[in-house]
């Protein structure tokens, strides 16, 4: 006993020193950020694209959400995270294994079991069940399970972020396609009207009523407008194929199938309310994903800290062993054992400390990512709202300008019929009116696209918080 006491004292001292090296427990909380004030707004549906009131657009968004390959990859990542959560949860439960073995052995004459005259050749048949369970005294497995759960939430929020961005991209591509359709129609009508006018003026030129200068000016204007049509047609084809790619269509469908849409420009923005509350940004899926990853990082820090403490493993086995298969499952063949093992790290050259410091550093990085994500969210929303306001003002001004130019073109035509204006004046007036209408088509596209960008920046629809929700 006297020989054991120095070793026991040394082991006890090492255990105490190891316990003193354990870092203190920390309370991981989401940082409280300073947010500007804002008033509540009425609820907006999550499928916000339906507010445009276009069934064709609704069908295209549904097709994109069902077939887009980026979204399919996000769903696969969710399945991976869900499997990781099941694996982490399984670590908290006992493990049961069934085993069976058969062996034929020969012992040498000098083996200990052979010294008493036992048989040198015999069978070793075994069958049984084994149970092992590690007590989660320090919540290591529980923290790893919590981290896996938050990682699953983060992957689901990432999917929601992608869904919103995908819907916004479909809306913006669709409204661009409608705008190009309108511009093609406008320029097509203008070109046909100019062709008819030129044909009429050529007859007047033959009769000596107009000069060669007027014919040359008409011809140059017609050539200029005709040159715009191929450019618009090419842009429309590219926009249509780009939208088909977002929809997840096959290469064959990409070339052969068109995009169903309304014949006229029907997609008009419905507006966004003023004074959006700042806490809307905290409900953005990407912000919620960053917060979930921050919680997961904190749980991993706590799991790494648990490695400093003793581990206790319980084992049990029940089964049969025999030298003959005929009596393997008889009563005398029953064998069992119960066991418990305790391990306490004393010295590992700093491995546990390095792992703990690494998880701490990872959490610090993720917290900085969270803070930056919230700041970026505010910037994106302010930029989107500013772009929407500017686009709305541009459209309103453009509509007034187009109306004024159309009235001027009508008056110029009346003056021309009365002999008070030249044909060149009519051409210029019509050209300005046409250009204003085409610019309005693009301005309407910009407004609808800007509203879609506002929805994307806000993470989709929003709703006014209720007292019950705020309390919970």
Q: For residue 49, what pLDDT band results from cuts at 50, 70 and 90?
A: confident
Which CATH superfamily hosts domain 96-135+310-343? Outer membrane efflux proteins (OEP) (2.20.200.10)
**What's the token pair of residue 129?**
């069940």
Q: What pLDDT score does 471 carry? A: 38
323 or 338: which leads in pLDDT: 338
Judged against a pLDDT cut of 60, whether residue 469 lies above it is answered with: no
**What are the tens digits of pLDDT across the range 405-449?**
999 989 988 888 787 887 667 877 887 888 788 888 888 888 888
Side-chain half-sphere exposure of 134, counting CA atoms within 13 A: 14
Side-chain half-sphere exposure of 41, counting CA atoms within 13 A: 18
Per-range mean pLDDT, top range of 33-47, 98-112, 186-200, 341-355: 341-355
Which pairs count as long-range contacts for 6-14, CB under 8 Å and 24+ apart, including other chains? 11/346, 14/346, 14/347
**What are the tens digits of pLDDT across the range 171-196?**
888 888 888 888 888 888 778 777 87
- In order, the DSSP letters of 21-49 are TSPPP--------------------SSGG
User: Exposed/middle/buried for 249, CB within 10 Å: 0-12, 13-18, 19+?
Assistant: buried
- In order, the DSSP letters of 147-205 are HHHHHHHHHHHHHHHHHHHHHHHHHHHHHHHHHHHHHHHHHHHHHHHHHHHHHHHHHHH
Q: For residue 115, what pLDDT band results from cuts at 50, 70 and 90?
A: very low
Give the H or E element holding residue 292.
helix 285-305
Q: According to CATH, what is the number of the domain 26-92+139-309+351-464?
A: 1.20.1600.10
Distance CA(447)–CA(330), nearest Å, equals 84
Instruction: For tokens 């550093």, name the residue.
Output: 361
**What's the token pair of residue 389?**
């306001």
Average pLDDT over residues 21-41: 67
Q: For residue 472, what pLDDT band results from cuts at 50, 70 and 90?
A: very low
Q: For residue 265, what pLDDT band results from cuts at 50, 70 and 90?
A: low
Average pLDDT over residues 14-24: 58
Closest CA to 367 of 51, 21, 30: 30
Distance CA(96)–CA(387), nearest Å, equals 62
**What are the tens digits of pLDDT across the range 241-262?**
888 888 888 777 766 677 767 6
Chain CA centroid to CA 319, Å: 52
| 21-24-30-31 Cα dihedral, nearest 10 degrees | -90
**What are the tens digits of pLDDT across the range 81-96?**
999 999 998 888 888 8
**What are the tens digits of pLDDT across the range 131-174?**
888 888 888 889 899 999 999 999 999 998 888 889 999 988 88
Q: What pLDDT score does 14 carry? A: 45
How many angstroms separate the Cα of 102 from the Cα of each of 127, 321, 350, 422? 9, 10, 44, 110
**What are the tens digits of pLDDT across the range 221-245?**
788 878 888 898 898 888 888 888 8
Spatial strand order of the sheet with 121-135 comes to 95-106, 121-135, 311-322, 334-343
How many angstroms separate the Cα of 391 from the Cα of each of 69, 132, 175, 384, 386? 32, 67, 14, 10, 9
| pTM score over 0.85 | no
Judged against a pLDDT cut of 50, whether residue 403 lies above it is answered with: yes
Domain with CATH 2.20.200.10 in the chain: 96-135+310-343
Per-range mean pLDDT, top range of 208-212, 333-337, 366-370: 366-370
Provide, for the chain, the percentages of residues in helix, strand and coil under a 3-state DSSP scheme, each rounded to the nearest 5.
Answer: 65, 10, 25
Judged against a pLDDT cut of 90, whether residue 296 lies above it is answered with: yes
Closest CA to 139 of 307, 293, 23: 307
**What's the token pair of residue 314?**
């319980």
Distance CA(43)–CA(142), nearest Å, equals 38
Of the ranges 102-111, 112-121, 131-140, 203-212, which one carries the lowest mean pLDDT score?
A: 112-121
Q: State the angle between helix axes of 140-206 and 55-67 in degrees (0 to 180), rounded to the nearest 10.
A: 140
Average pLDDT of the chain to the nearest whole number: 80
Q: Give me Rg for the CA atoms of the chain.
A: 39
DSSP class of residue 332 equals: G
Domain with CATH 1.20.1600.10 in the chain: 26-92+139-309+351-464
Q: What pLDDT score does 264 carry? A: 63
**What's the token pair of residue 465?**
């918080």
């Amino acid at each position: 006993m006297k020989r054991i006491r120095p070793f026991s004292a040394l082991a006890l001292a090492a255990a105490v020193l190891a316990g003193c090296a354990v870092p203190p427990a920390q309370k991981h909380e989401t940082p409280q950020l300073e947010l500007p004030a804002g008033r509540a707004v009425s609820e907006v549906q999550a499928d916000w694209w339906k507010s445009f009131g276009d069934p064709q657009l609704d069908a295209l968004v549904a097709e994109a959400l069902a077939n887009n390959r980026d979204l399919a990859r996000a769903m696969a990542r969710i399945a991976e995270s869900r499997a990781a959560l099941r694996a982490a949860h399984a670590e908290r439960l006992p493990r049961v294994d069934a085993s069976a073995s058969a062996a034929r052995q020969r012992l040498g004459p000098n083996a200990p079991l052979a010294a008493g005259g036992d048989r040198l050749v015999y069978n070793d048949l075994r069958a049984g069940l084994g149970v092992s369970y590690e007590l989660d005294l320090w919540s290591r497995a529980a923290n790893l399970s919590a981290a896996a759960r938050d990682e699953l939430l983060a992957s689901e929020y990432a999917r929601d972020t992608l869904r919103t961005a995908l819907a916004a991209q479909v809306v913006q591509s669709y409204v661009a396609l409608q705008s190009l359709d309108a511009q093609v129609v406008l320029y097509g009508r203008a070109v046909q009207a100019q062709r008819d006018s030129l044909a009429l003026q050529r007859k007047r030129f033959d009769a000596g009523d107009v000069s060669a200068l007027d014919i040359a000016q008409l011809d140059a204007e017609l050539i200029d407008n005709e040159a715009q049509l191929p450019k618009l047609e090419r842009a429309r084809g590219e926009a249509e194929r780009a939208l088909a790619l977002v929809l997840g269509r096959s290469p064959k469908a990409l070339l052969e199938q068109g995009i169903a849409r309304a014949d006229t420009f029907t997609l008009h923005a419905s507006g966004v309310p003023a004074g959006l509350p700042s806490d809307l940004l905290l409900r953005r899926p990407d912000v919620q994903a960053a917060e979930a990853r921050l919680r997961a990082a904190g749980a991993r820090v706590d799991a790494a800290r648990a490695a400093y403490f003793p581990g206790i493993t319980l084992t049990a086995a029940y089964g049969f062993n025999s030298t003959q298969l005929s009596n393997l499952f008889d009563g005398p063949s029953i064998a069992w054992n119960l066991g418990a093992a305790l391990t306490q790290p004393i010295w590992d050259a700093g491995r546990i400390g390095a792992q703990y410091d690494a998880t701490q550093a990872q959490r610090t990085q993720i917290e900085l990512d969270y803070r930056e994500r919230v700041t970026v969210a505010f910037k994106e929303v302010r930029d989107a709202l500013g772009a929407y306001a500017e686009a709305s003002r541009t459209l309103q001004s453009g509509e007034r300008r187009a109306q004024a130019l159309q009235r001027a073109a009508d008056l110029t035509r009346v003056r021309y019929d009365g002999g008070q204006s030249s044909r060149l004046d009519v051409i210029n007036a019509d050209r300005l009116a046409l250009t204003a209408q085409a610019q309005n088509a693009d301005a309407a596209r910009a407004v609808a696209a800007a509203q879609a960008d506002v929805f994307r920046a806000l993470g989709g629809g929003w709703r006014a918080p209720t007292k019950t929700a705020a309390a919970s």
